[in-house]
Amino acid sequence: MSVETDLLYADAGGVRLRLDIHRSADPAAPVVVYAHGGGWTRGDRRTDGTTRVAPLAACGVTVVAVDYRLALDAAFPRQLHDLKGAVRWLRANGERLGLRTERLGVWGASAGAYLGSLLALSEGDSALEGDVGGNLDRSSAVQAVVHWFGQADLAATAGRTALEARLLPFHFEADLLGAGGEGSGPGLAERARGLSLLARVSAQAPPFLIAHGDRDRIVPPAEGLALHDALSRAGGSSRLELLGGAGHEDPLFDAPANLALTAAWLRAVLG
């Protein structure tokens, strides 16, 4: 396995966006784009590099970890525009880099799982496509999605009661949607309603591998189950893995057995 770091894929409004390529030893390995978590307000492409990204590459999948602009400095949908720009850049430069980019996967954790899944379910949506990085003659579509403990319905997770809003120390959805200090309430929930993954699923969705911990107290496991059910009812392909005893961002997700399962699924789906 080898790593190429700090490759510039776009300059977005003065923000230089970079990616790192964690190459599998197999030159014909499938390629997956990794979107980190952090509540849309923290982290970068190096997040999870040694504990998650490199071990998956050792299992036979080349992983491209990407930067995207964070919510407190860039309101949605700029984060999604950035990820789509990274996918197009990979397709434009795949031959030069020696990567198989005809069929690409996207893999995200927590906030990154939501963004990666929305990327997969928004092909052809001009408002969400953007033009970050150019290469607009290349497709931003992906052919496989790994969704780890992410939101599926922003309206549901944003719609807290007044008591819940006081007790819960985070307001990720408000940060993402540029709602300032408004951490809950009907106004935020209404803005989030049109961004639900559940409303975008169809039989044409790429295959999904959804993994959630049954003790997740930040994003309830019901979110992963709802996404799985919606995909299945729509005629899409979905596999749900419920990790017993696992909380949010639990080390159990990075255990060798779970990473091997994830890599095997990506290899099978991406060929």
47-99 pLDDT, tens digit each = 999 999 999 999 999 999 999 999 888 888 999 999 999 999 999 999 999 99
Report pLDDT for 188. Answer: 63
The answer to whether residue 235 scores a pLDDT higher than 90 is: yes
Count other C-beta atoms under 10 Å from residue 112's C-beta. Answer: 29
Strand order in the sheet with 238-243: 2-12, 15-23, 62-66, 31-35, 104-109, 144-148, 208-213, 238-243
Across all residues in the chain, what is the average pLDDT? 90
To which H or E segment does residue 1 belong?
none
- The answer on pLDDT for 121 being more than 90 is yes
pTM of the model: 0.91
CB neighbour class for 202 (10 Å; exposed up to 12, middle 13-18, buried from 19) = exposed
Q: What is the pLDDT of residue 79?
A: 94
**Structure token digits, residue 88:** 């197009």
β pairing state of 62-66 and 15-23: antiparallel
What is the average pLDDT across 128-151? 95
- Strand partners for 241: 211
CA 220 – CA 10 distance, rounded (Å): 34
Question: What torsion do the CA atoms of 35, 38, 42, 43 make, to the nearest 10 degrees?
Answer: -40
Residues 6+ apart with CB under 8 A from 33: 63, 64, 66, 83, 86, 87, 90, 104, 105, 106, 107, 116, 142
* Contact (Cβ atoms closer than 8 angstroms) between residue 132 and residue 85: yes
Cα 94 from Cα 65, distance rounded (Å): 15
